[in-house]
Amino acid sequence: MKYILIVFIIFFSACSVKDYEQTKSKVIIIKSPKIKFADLGYIRNTGNNIQLELFLAGKSIKQININRLICVDEGCMSKDGFNADYLHESYPDDLLQHILLGLPIYAEKNKQKIDDGFTQKIENKDVNISYKVNSSTIYFKDKKNNIIFKIKEMKK
């Protein structure tokens, strides 16, 4: 019984409430097989803990929490399980985390520096990705799998 309680605590602590160091409001567009969204959202993070909260007409409609696991409304799952279910099974485990933070993907493969950021083009049998990060926008498009992430700074 004691071991079941310990496993239960460890499993659910991955999705527990965190105090985030950074909170940024963004205009977020997501198009994937399971998520279609275009409106305001918040990206909160502390180290490797990230929370994406999506709003529609001022009401929170979805939260995605990323730590060791990725937790959504339906429960928590491994990162590769999330990719297979929500994005594409060939994506690296850290892809969503890197997109939300504007970090290079695929171990910086084909990374080209631009004035205020970088671009990457990744093409193989599974993906055809264009990824661009600059000071105001993060843009990820996989033409082969019809997946788009666009994250823009809020205009002041």
| pLDDT of res. 74 | 85
Instruction: Note the pLDDT tens digit of each residue in 35-69.
Output: 999 999 999 998 779 999 999 888 899 999 999 99
Per-residue tokens: 77: 């799952």
| pLDDT of res. 13 | 46
Strand bridging mode 22-31 / 36-46? antiparallel
Nearest to 46 by CA among 116, 107, 106, 97: 97
Q: pTM of the full predicted structure?
A: 0.84
Q: Structural domain boundaries of the chain?
A: 2-153
* The total number of residues written for the chain in this structure: 156
Q: What percent of the chain has pLDDT over 90?
A: 74
User: How high does pLDDT run on average in the chain?
Assistant: 88
Instruction: Note the pLDDT tens digit of each residue in 111-126.
Output: 999 999 999 999 999 9
**Dihedral sign (CA 95, 96, 97, 98):** positive
> Would you say 120 and 112 are in contact if contact means Cβ atoms under 8 Å apart?
yes
CATH T-level fold of 2-153: outer membrane lipoprotein receptor (LolB), chain A (2.50.20)
